[in-house]
Every structure is written in C-alpha cells, then in structure tokens.
Amino acid sequence: MVKTVNFQTEKKLVSAFHTALESAAVTETPKVMSQFCAPDSRWRGFHPFNEINGAEQVARKFWQPLKGSLAHLQNRVDILFAGQNSLRKETDVWVVAMGHLVGLFDRPWSGIRPTGKMAFLRYCAFYKVAGGRIVETAMYFDIPHLMVQAGQNPFPSQTAAHLVQPGPRTHDGLLLDEQPADEGEKTLAVINAMIADLGRWDSGLSLEEELARTWHRDMIWWGPEGIGATYTIERYARQHSGPFRASFTDRSKTNHVCRLAEGHYGGFFGWPNFTATPTGGFMGMPATGKPGEFRVIDIYRRVEDKLAENWIFIDLLHFWKGQGVDILARTTGIEAS
C-alpha cells in the first residue's frame, strides 16, 4: 500500500480563506481576517509592507488598500500544496499557495498609478496553520512587475526576460488530494541537494556541471521583474546565475524559516534567506560594499530526480533600499511610511 500524507484540513482552510477574502467587500475584509486568522498572527510581506502583527492590522494596511485599488479582485491560484516544515521537529504545518491577484487597476496603490485596465500581481504565500487558524503568513509579491504594467519601469534592462509567469507546464499544481509520502520526500531531497550546491559557490565544477547535478537540462527559472525568466541550464547560467555570482562576495549561509514538499512540488522562504555584499554589476548597479538582505521564496516542480521549474520571488525593493536606493520612492515619488 502506498503511504500518503494528509494535510487536507489545512489546505481546505486556506482555500476557504481565499474564497471568503475574494468575495468580501473592502469593508468586510477585517471580519474575514478575524474569522480565519489568529488575532495575534504574524504577517511578513515585501517592502513597503514588511512585518505586520495582528489580523486586523493586516486587513487594514494591506488587503483593504489592495482590494480598493484592484477592483473585482480575483485570486487565481496555480500551485497549492502543504506539508510539515522539515526544519522543525515539532508539528509545524504550512500551506503554500502561488498565483496571481488579478483585478481592474482603478485606483493608485503604493504610489503606483492606475491604468483602468486588468493588472496582475504575482504572489506566493506560506500559511502556518495551527488550531484551525492561520497563525503566521509569509506573503511575497512582485511589486516591480505591477509597476511595469503601469508604465513605471523601475529598473534598467534585465539580463533575462519577464514576459508572463504561468503556472506549471504540467497543469497539475493544485494538490487537492492526498499525495504519496515518498514523492514529497524525493522532492525535498532534490531541493536540499540543490541548496547544498548553491551554498558553496566553490564546488570545483563548472557552473553548468554543478547545475546539471540537480536541474533538468531544459529547466525554467521564473525570475522576478528586474531579473527575468530564463530557460535551459546554459541560458540560466549565462543570464542569471553566472552574473549573480560574479556580482557578490561574502554570501552568508542559507537561513530558511520554512522548507517543505508535497508530491512533486516543494519550496521554502527566509527572512532573509541570506546576505551578500554587492561588488558591482548586479542589475546594472555599482558596488556599495554593504551587505544586503535577500528575502526570497522559491517554489519548485520536480520531474523524476531533477528540478524542472522554479518560481522565484525576491524583495528587490527591500534589497536596494538597504543599499541606499529607494526604488519605489524614486519611481513613484512617494516615500514609504
């Protein structure tokens, strides 16, 4: 008999939360948050929102302004899975959802001017569930991509290409049913092996040889606005991984808050994942000599024993603000509170 793992209750809770939040009027958002989230829940988001404590404050500071700007907001989920946090021995169950928040961009949001047209805010969220409530959330979203849609491109030319950010090629990212336990274990093992290689930067192999240990030859790296997406190991090495490694020194060890897998999908997030010091060239910027934080979510799809797709969320606004460049304020003319 194939052993399965059951996180169905937690996944159903998060799906119900998404449905209630999507259908709620702006003024009803705090009520929805209080229904599904613990009153003292912790919420981590990208700059300029950062950390918000308390369900009601999350509603008022993030969800109400967003729903008031992106009218008729839809949450279009491409990937949904859950699991036990592999970095904790005690019970620590998280649900992961990735997709786009879609609406009519009718009012300004975070200083970004409205277009009156459809707009897409790509996001990924990790929800910690305990006692029938969401007690902790890490919700990372690509604000620069929304800025580009509004004609306010904040960055110079990308090394790769940000065109569209679709869900899995296999269209099987919604793990609504129980999954074989060994499949999740295989996915987590490949992710851990990739992280071990990535953390060294000195394997003695060429970059392409190193990547081929854990990545499919035709892998796709769905990077954020400002860096872009790239396809195949050779192009990924040339268009992101190589330039990134050449642009930094003093990379710290990986420090994740949560890392999990279910079925053929897995991922992690950190706050921050790591720090590194820019030596110049990254995103066309000069060296600062100042260590910078990288807040990152990575989501992976495994095929057999290799990683085939990777969706990445990097808080580039936070990184550059830490380097003394407030990209959001410079582009929109509005200082973050």
Same fold, 7-149 and 179-332: yes
4: pLDDT strictly greater than 70? no
Q: Is 7-149 in CATH node 3.10.450.50?
A: yes
Give the distance, in angstroms, between the CA of residue 146 and the centroid of all CA atoms in the same chain: 15
pTM of the predicted model, to two decimals? 0.95
What pLDDT sits at residue 200?
66
Give the start-to-end residue ranges of the domains of the chain.
Answer: 7-149, 179-332
* DSSP labels, 146-172: HHHHTT---S---SSB-S-----TTS-
pLDDT digits (tens, 9 = 90+) for 126-149: 999 999 999 999 999 999 999 999
pLDDT digits (tens, 9 = 90+) for 34-79: 999 999 999 999 999 999 999 999 999 999 999 999 999 999 999 9
pLDDT digits (tens, 9 = 90+) for 184-216: 999 999 999 999 987 666 667 899 999 999 999
What pLDDT sits at residue 280?
87
* DSSP labels, 33-76: HHHHEEEEEEEEESTTT-EEESHHHHIIIIIHHHHHHEEEEEEE
pLDDT digits (tens, 9 = 90+) for 215-254: 999 999 999 999 999 999 999 999 999 999 999 999 898 9
What pLDDT sits at residue 199?
61
Of 129, 131, 106, give the one whose Cα is nearest residue 119: 106
**Average pLDDT score, the chain:** 94
124: pLDDT strictly greater than 90? yes
pLDDT band at 162, cuts 50/70/90?
confident
pLDDT digits (tens, 9 = 90+) for 254-265: 999 999 999 999
Q: Is residue 182 within 8 Å of residue 88, measured between CB atoms? A: no
Class of domain 179-332: alpha beta
Structural Rg of the chain based on CA atoms? 19
